[in-house]
Structure 1
């Protein structure tokens, strides 16, 4: 079993550049099957989730090569519309093959997707929107390779025709999947109450490079004018705001300073505003965020929500900052109902946190102490590593396979900033 071993107390101080956004790159990979021409996705992060999606594409018939950090996808031989069961249950983003396969092949068989256990994350909004656009669904169970029953959805379409979709909730995944489904279609599709995340804007820009006609991403209404065909192209995703935010928090938690390159401050508005209230001095340059922790850390409360509100993917890491800051605060989680699984782990290190429904109440302590942590999911795992940077003594974090799903060379990057962290196998 692999673990991160962290000796706390070192100050984070240095420069770091964010990887390309995981949540954008996974969309681009899924979308690559919508054309029969080569796609080049520049500077793909070397993380487990990207490697799983790559295997899903290869199982569908695509050829994928890596060259100088770029992924080159030749989708000309894609013929299978069935997403691999074992791979899909490891990756939530496999659901985007639903829209992509339907776009290209007019059929899709997708196991209900897996990923981190942070809540139900139902796909009902995807399905209901697709049905309004004429997609026919069937649902069935089958005995999987491990002997357990697996649920599948089978979707078919004679053709893809546009229409108006009003989402009951600004679901990020549903918005993205509708864009994938209708980019190649007849007529015009309008998504009302669309999610506004920066990765959705990036998906619009990527698809438009391939010949799509999409506008409005970043607002509550997206308009997709269907085209007959997409062509190949080259694209580089935006910087990963969640990875970047994690490193900013590492500096804040250890009383250090950091220069973060590659993340647009406009993509983290509420988060950066909150950090400023924690006696962090934050300034901006050309594609650079400078953060310096000054004086005693002061606790602040926050509520997660869809963009531009506080990102749920930074909730756990920020709660660690609150747990070692002066004063009392609360964290209200409104996106996923099971995103406090890390709190019992933090309590092992002396954090004073109590949970009532979807709110965590935190009383700050001066410093945590060393503990043996087990990461329950991707972002919680990163949060526990940040706790170890603050803790007195030697902290161990197991379950690091979760962390590697979304953070490339996490320990190596932290070491470059001054952290005492190694990866050990026990």
Structure 2
């Protein structure tokens, strides 16, 4: 009845004889397929990158922060500034640790001072000064490779000590082994003055994002100092008139005794709100587990990825219309050929299949080119985000299958028109 191999050969020969027209016809398919694959690849990379960051904090990690408390009518006074008594105080933390200490592996509060720069001759190192409590770095799985984390004696005594990154050591003391940086003094220049710290620890800096793509150049890493020292540095800033002793947020990591992170999070939330913040009419505490934050973030990214993919897929519709248009032109150009084939006994279904196959071949080639282009752009985009990735096999197969489906859908009308041509009228066509 009809020969697929022959139809494919005819379709390929037709594309070869009209290369530019074929390429322009495929353009909408190429753009649509490549856009969808790029977006999905980059979206999956972002999701994986963010999930990895949260997972590094641990499944039993809880983020605690203060929010405005709604009144009995559900209204919130957004204009009211936070007062000193609204923040999480050291006394609250002590009470909390007394009640939950047997289930807590570590906890952390932080205070950002701002960017600074250390200079050693011609060498410079940029650092972002962060005030932290004792043994706080373990909560984010920061790996101390020389020396130690800030301890209780250093933090409570407000010693001028710091934990810096190996990248900071490399920039400031090129060629110096990290363990030899211990005990060295560094002078950090900030807008409010110059401060001297003794290095007591060095942590391994994990390269990610644009820093990974750029490879070289100045990278600003965190310099961790005792919390009290950080607050004194903030007070030295002319524009700051009041510095609270409390904290806006607190991070907690449960130990192996915590088997249900959701229940653990709810228990912490209830303890703060029903006991420590019970008398506060304006502020309450919200506790969120890493698991719930990962779920919310992943869900949001998936929705964004889907929305952008739908927009990008519109170009596939435009490409399909272009395929239909060029196939109608092809039917018109080959009217006499169709008449000759029908006069020699070709059935309507054979003519119909011939043009549908030709339409599918156009979309298949466009789909393959789109997959190659989308894979390249997706890889480049995910690399820029610091989490290089490839498109999944399933999305590639779906993309190619979808492009061929477009060929069938938009090629059927021209093919059906060709099949219904009257052979006598077709042979008379000039």
TM range (shorter): under 0.3
Q: Which has the higher contact order (CA 8 A, sep 6+)?
A: 2
Query: Normalising to structure 2: TM-score of the pair?
Result: 0.25
- Which entry has the higher C-alpha Rg, 1 or 2? 2
Which structure has the highest helix share of the two? 2
Which structure has the highest strand share of the two? 1
